[in-house]
Structure 1
């Protein structure tokens, strides 16, 4: 059996869309979970059964996890050569000091960026724990999870939390006979809508705005396609999971 299945969150735009398109081009089967479906992603599938798109608000993490668990229960492990979960989705709340960010905006960012990945990972691991095929979890982290930045408290916290929960789960899975391998990977600085938000912020709200504007001006941003290729190449490494907290810019 040579069919490979990847479950991908945030596959409707940005690097998530690019990863989905590249996986489909390689013949992978993809379940994309995002707020909206993507016609660009759909057109990349060579056959209808290769792609399934769920329109799912990941801020409703319990519902998303329950839906994933129920769907995985309908599959047979014998039908697949491998299964992978990529937690890619994330949002940036208002770019401002925490005291100026509404509770609703902050909570939404935490739910999408940390609560949903934890809930989906739990559902994924529980539903596939008896599967003998290779299982991987790739969490898309950020350098901002490893470096504090003013006016980015919620986003930095989601990514730092993603790193830490990945480390905890890695210890749990290492103790199992066929435990999943997990990595929390920083993908570098990418030319996405998030970067536009950061470099467009007012200096009074975001002290580091000049730095992010400079990344764009100096051509230091990686395209979404190149970033996706680097992330997927990391996922294919033979030593995937040996280093849980990683960065694509490492050798």
Structure 2
């Protein structure tokens, strides 16, 4: 692994194994960047890109349903780096899951718990670990939470996903108040990335019509070419992260740019 230059910019990204998360990881692997990917499995493709771009890459295989375990590992790793290692630090909470698409009355308790652990509990735990471990770092720090329009608009048969994203939006608002009261507080934002052509969309379009009243809407999005590619969506999200006014609005939508 290549040595970390003193001017390196640190990015910590969850859900980097596929979809927009993978596209973000690919785009973040540039010279002068250190990327920590937290996903269920490592991706050899990212290792090859890191080597070609002279970026520093750490891949941590981790089930984010075990969010406390991931948070402790992140906190310990950040503490070992020290406050003078990086020129900036950013956490991107991207991972999320959709449980079986069905009304809540037909949902499985374990499935619901898993969706909320990955989609809400783990981002809160990782954010707490990141902010606590870097609080003394005198460098710009950012937390970008990847939310969804479904956190702001209810949808039938999507109670767990909608609840996780709504919770993400609101805990981001709370953290923004916390950090604004500190002399060198982090900037935080919960950002809806728009509709993206990912496996999640395939899952929604494959739902049984009787279980998912909005099925036709998602089918029309695909047929009408209205889904952004993971690469384009990643570029827009990372451009938002790079904005000078990042965090001015704790809850935002990339389509408002």
Question: TM-score by structure 1 length?
Answer: 0.98
Q: Is residue 31–residue 55 contact of structure 2 (8 Å, CA) maintained in 1?
A: no
Which of the residues 153, 163, 169 maps onto 2:159?
153
- The Cα shift of 1:2 comes to 2.4
**Cα distance, 1:164 vs structure 2:** 0.1
Q: 1:226 aligns with which of 225, 232, 256?
A: 232
Rounded to whole Å, the distance in 1 between the matches of 2:48 and 2:100 is 33
The correspondence of residues 33-112 of structure 1 with structure 2, limited to 5 A, is 33-46=38-51, 50-112=56-118
Does 2:122 match 1:116?
Answer: yes
Alignment partners' CA distance in 2, 1:174 and 1:83: 17
Q: Which moved more, 1:190-199 or 1:74-83?
A: 74-83
Q: CA deviation at 1:49?
A: 6.6
For these two proteins, the number of residue pairs brought into alignment is 251
Q: CA deviation at 1:28?
A: 1.6
Q: Secondary structure at the match of 2:183?
A: coil
Match of residue 6 from structure 1: 11
- Secondary structure class of the residue paired with 2:81: coil
Could you list the runs of 4 or more consecutive aligned residues of structure 1 that deviate by over 6 angstroms after TM superposition?
none
Shift of 1:249: 0.2
Deviation at 1:27, TM superposition (A): 4.0
TM-score by length of 2: 0.96
| Aligned-residue offset at 1:131 | 0.5
Deviation for aligned residue 1:78: 1.1
Name the residue aligned to 2:132.
126
* Counterpart mapping for 1:19-34 below 5 A: 19-25=24-30, 27-34=32-39
Superposition RMSD on alpha carbons, in Å? 1.1
Q: Name the CA distance, whole Å, in 1 between partners of 2:140 and 2:55.
A: 22
Unpaired runs of at least 5, structure 2: 1-5
Report which stretch shifted further, 182-191 or 39-48: 39-48
